[in-house]
Structure 1
Amino acid sequence: MAPPSLTKNSAEVMGVADGKIPFPSTVTLEAGNFLANGHLILTDVPKNIMATPSLLISAGKAKTTVGCFVGFNAAEPMSRHVVPIGRLRNLRFMSIFRFKVWWTTHLVGRNGRDVEHETQMMILDKNDTGRPYVLLLPLLEGQFRASLQPGENDNLDICVESGSTRVLGSSFRSCLYMQAGDDPFGLVREAMKEVRVHLGSFKLLEEKTPPGIVDKFGWCTWDAFYLKVDPRGVWEGVKGLVEGGCPPGMVLIDDGWQSICHDDDPISDQEG
């Protein structure tokens, strides 16, 4: 797959002619601070952090919510970089972070020290004086993945890693996407349109045709049995649903997604 492009076009999204942006980015990096519509969001941004305005606007209608891609330069190539992108202080946020290999959950806080490791998405709250909601979305860049995490002195750090000591990098241009808006739901939708065009590796939900199975009522055995699934229990579960007037169109037998234990370790209901 070709590397992502900061100026890629699509049928629904067009690039800005002559490299000129008719509307300024709502998130800007000025004098060592990140601003959203002129309101301070991150302070003391290190000099190696750079912001590139998104050169994409919707075809057929003007948009004032142009985002920016954030990157950095490191002193030497490494497989893992942890870099501060600015201090986050006394600004409410909501985030989603990965707390297991296969599970994520939400977290709220106000400062950089409140952020969890492996944060996959963050939305900064708006206020009554004009500061909008701000979405921070870590991205894939080449063979590297990114996530947010707490840093020292309320810094918000970005962790960029390849997972292999043989895959090294020192210069990144789009490991984080930032965009601002007054409606958090619309903000996420519009940001995903920009990221879709930038990465070129996925489709939006409205562009997909869901399989017919999504219209069926299904039953998953996990909450009933966890790791201790047995044929009799599955049969009785299905029988109870049928007798109750809710026959399942499909049954998912789930005894855990995967195990991270050694073969000789005792089985625990906490797995899965």
Structure 2
Amino acid sequence: MQTEKVADHIINWLKEYATRANMNGFVVGVSGGIDSAVTSTLCAKTGMNTLCLEMPIHQDKGQITRARKHIDELQHNFANVSSLEVNLTPVFDEFRNAMPQHRETAPLDLALANSRARLRMTTLYYFAGLHKYLVAGTGNKVEDFGVGFYTKYGDGGVDLSPIADLVKSEVYELGKYLNIIDEIMVAPPTDGLFGDSRSDEDQLGASYDELEWAMLEKDGGRTSGDFEGRQREVFDIYSRLNSANQHKMLPIPVCEIPVHLKK
């Protein structure tokens, strides 16, 4: 990948899009992970106003520390960057306590995790509306178009997606070029939605390197029967998630009414 040219292309694309839309800048949720670090840095490099939001909800302390260090670094280097911390823990707790509880632990945990992401989306759009900013998404290609590893109307609810055509390894390559802090570069990727230290790999059953491989192979027309052992296992994981999460990746289905029924 021609990293410098890719970075310049994204920066110009962001600036041109915001200018054409007559918007004042960008708001980015910064989590302490590589995707949000790269996205917020690219937004900062446009020279337009860039608001970095921390939105902890019973957050792992390591994630908060990494996010704060990254934001401090951005604000040191870019006068156009501002930041706010909005502690959503009380809001989330109030929401959770208002909901009827169910015995099924796994569905309840997932429902609450997705609710965290949707509270953050609502917060991002509050500040976007307040300042006439665009909400910049932080999803990469494997997450957004491979396995659908994001929350519909949560972190999937954005105005534009600057890194969604880059697989995870390319995001790391861009992170290295952009001098993202070491703590973020080496931290295991995590969505941070469960209030513990579980990684994305723990949830997905495969690493991003493995999923990138499977995505490439599937796009090339390969099938599960072409592989054995761990490769077959990873290919099947990717295929299952890709199929199950198509509802996130495809346009919302519209029930089209036959013309003769409207007469």
Shared fold, TM over 0.5: no
TM-score by length of 2: 0.26
TM-score by length of 1: 0.25
| Higher normalized strand content (fraction of residues) | 1
| Higher normalized helix content (fraction of residues) | 2
